[in-house]
Structure 1
Amino acid sequence: MARRLRPVELDFVESAPLRLVFTADAVAPADALYRALAEETAAWPTWFTAVTHARATDGGREVRLRGGTRFRETVMAAEPCARYAYRVDATNAPGLRALLEEWRLTPTAGGTRVRWTFAADAGAPVRFALRMGRAGFDRAFRDAVRALDRRLAAPGAGPSAAAS
């Protein structure tokens, strides 16, 4: 990894200089979504097309995205059926100073509301580029939630089957 980022705590999700927040509704129950997010790391590329590789590490994850961006992360919150958050400790992405992502799961009458917060600190040009890319982030997030929902609804499928 090329660069270490500033370590931040969970409160950064509310105080970051740049916060991008996205929501989508899923039919799947919160427990199934949580397992897919927090426990079945290696299956992320099957439903989140921006992710090409993901593997669990001791206390965190290593993730690669399309285009070659890599992240080494520390899990900051793992609250079953409610919240999964991780901080990026190192990356090859230029310009980032700190990054924390949080996934919140809220049960609804029809399934689960998924909220993803991308909280970052970066120089002005990178913040501007990230804001300009908001629509792409939103599309990728919504597509990922839909794909995960379909995967979880498939007979015999689910996070455990996906990781096999």
Structure 2
Amino acid sequence: MARRLRPVGLDFIEGAPVRLRFGTEVSAAPEEVYRALAEEVADWPRWFRAVSSARPTHGGTGREIGLVGGVRFQETVMAAEPERRYAYRVDETNAPGLRALLEEWRLAPAGSGTRIRWTFAADGPAPLRLALAAARPGLGHSFRTAVRALDTRLTARRDAGR
């Protein structure tokens, strides 16, 4: 059963009760990474193993995401700043306990590639907060694995175009 979550703004990234941040660098340029995140939403399952389905909604201002295991999200894109930032808020989900959830991907040039920082900002009752804190290593691993797969995908695309 889907439940509506509390709508939050971009400031939630800094004030959320649970903030998990992960970062890494890739060889792909910021414009390539941004395109994959914001414009090629349907391709997320090809590089992010935790995502089983993804599709843009409302002309690209929303997203519908399915995770492996059956969790579903209806999202609103909150920030779409080419080559810099992509953020989305979960409006509706079947995940238990969540009260609010916002995710942000920050991109910055790093040498000939991109520095990526992903922030997972959430609110929920104390047991959920503890569970998310305990899940930090797994979420970090999932992020790093996904970003490596994305970089491999973007490198192969770039090499095929030469």
Normalising by structure 1, report the TM-score: 0.94
Corresponding residue for residue 8 of structure 2: 8
Corresponding residue for residue 51 of structure 2: 51
Give 1:26's aligned amino acid.
V
Q: Identify the match of residue 89 of structure 1 among 88, 91, 100.
A: 91
- SS of the residue corresponding to residue 78 of structure 2 reads strand
C-alpha distance in 1 between matches for 2:69 and 2:108: 32
Count of matched residue positions in the alignment of Structure 1 and Structure 2: 157
TM superposition outliers: structure 1 runs of 4+ over 2 Å: none
1:133 aligns with 2:148: no
C-alpha distance in 2 between matches for 1:39 and 1:156: 20
Instruction: Show structure 1 runs of 5+ residues with no match.
Output: 158-164
C-alpha distance in 2 between matches for 1:104 and 1:2: 29
Q: Share of identical aligned residues, percent?
A: 65
- The CA deviation at 1:131 is 0.5
Normalising by structure 2, report the TM-score: 0.95
- The CA deviation at 1:139 is 0.4
- The CA deviation at 1:110 is 3.6
C-alpha distance in 1 between matches for 2:99 and 2:107: 27
CA root-mean-square deviation? 0.9
Q: Identify the match of residue 156 of structure 1 among 137, 156, 160.
A: 160
- The CA deviation at 1:2 is 1.4
